[in-house]
Amino acid sequence: MRERVGRAVERRVSVVATRRSDGRIAQDRMLEEAIAAIAEHGLAKLTMSGLAERLGTSGGHILYYFGSKDQLLLAALRWSEDRLAEERARLLARRVPADRKLDLFLGLYLPAGPRDPRWMLWVELWARTAGNAELRVAQDEIDRGWQDDLVTVLVRGADKGVLVIDDPVAEASELLALLEGLSTRTVLGLGGTTRDGALAMARRATGRLLR
């Protein structure tokens, strides 16, 4: 069990370095496909053999890399958020006014629509958070990433005189909580919430908060 994890880690490192076997299914494909499958049918319906079939590989092979289904899920979460963290980093580096940057941030956070894969994964994993410390830690880390970057945007905006902030940490927290609530509703299709509606609402709240 333990060595499986180690193997998975090694693997990730060597993905770029070696590609000995062409038949080899990349871990990334596995994670991507797992997220897609969860988005389509829910985590409850995700079976190792079903996922393997989608990938044209064997269930044993997936476990060979990830060790267990829980680890696979955790890896999927991290993989998904790693890419978003990169997008956020790119966003932070862009030369656009702070208010525009903040707006882009909102768009990045909110789900693309109902059943958005990334958010479906979050919702599914929330249900497992209570019983899985490793998962909670990972979620906390990811959350902190969003929080820190948002604080950065706010502080820079204040420095430039574009945004009026008071307590950037508290304001970021509030904004993220609102975004999370909006996202949950959007992705689950509750209350008729759409991405556009959520975005509009987030913008209004942002305007009120920072002016």
Least separation, in Å, of the C-beta of 11 and DNA? Answer: 6
* Token pair 């899920």 in the structure block, residue: 73
Q: Please state, in angstroms and rounded to a whole number, the distance separating the CA atoms of residues 173 and 147.
A: 7
Choose from a copy of itself, DNA, none: what does 136 bind? Cβ within 5-8 Å by kind.
a copy of itself
Minimum CB separation of residue 115 from a copy of itself in Å reads 7
Q: How far is the CB of 71 from DNA (least distance, A)?
A: 8
Residue 64, binding choice from a copy of itself, DNA, none, Cβ under 5 to 8 Å by partner class = DNA
Which segments of the chain does DSSP mark as H helices, in order?
Answer: 2-17, 27-41, 48-55, 59-66, 69-93, 98-109, 117-129, 133-159, 168-188, 195-210
The Cα 192–Cα 91 span in angstroms is 30
Among 38, 67, 109, 186, binds DNA (CB under 7 A): 67
Q: What is the dihedral of CA 167, 195, 38, 41, to 10 degrees?
A: 150
Most distant CA pair in the chain, distance: 57
- Type of residue numbered 150: L
Binding mask 68-97 for DNA (x = CB under 7 A): xxx---------------------------
- Choose the binding region for DNA from 52-60, 76-84, 133-141, 197-205 (rule: CB under 7 A): 52-60
Smallest distance from the beta carbon of 84 to DNA, in angstroms? 26
Q: From the list 8, 37, 43, 98, which residue makes contact with a copy of itself (rule: CB under 8 A)?
A: 43
152 touches a copy of itself by CB under 8 A:
no
Q: How many Cα neighbours within 13 Å face the side chain of 100?
A: 7
Q: In the complex with a copy of itself, which residue's Cβ is closer, 24 or 90?
A: 24
CB-nearer residue toward DNA: 21 or 130: 21
Cβ–Cβ < 8 Å for 84, 108: yes
Binding residue (CB under 8 A) for a copy of itself from 109, 124, 153, 206: 124
* Pairwise CA distance, residues 172 & 175, whole Å: 5
Among the residue ranges 27-35, 104-112, 116-124, 156-164, the one whose residues contact a copy of itself (CB under 8 A): 116-124
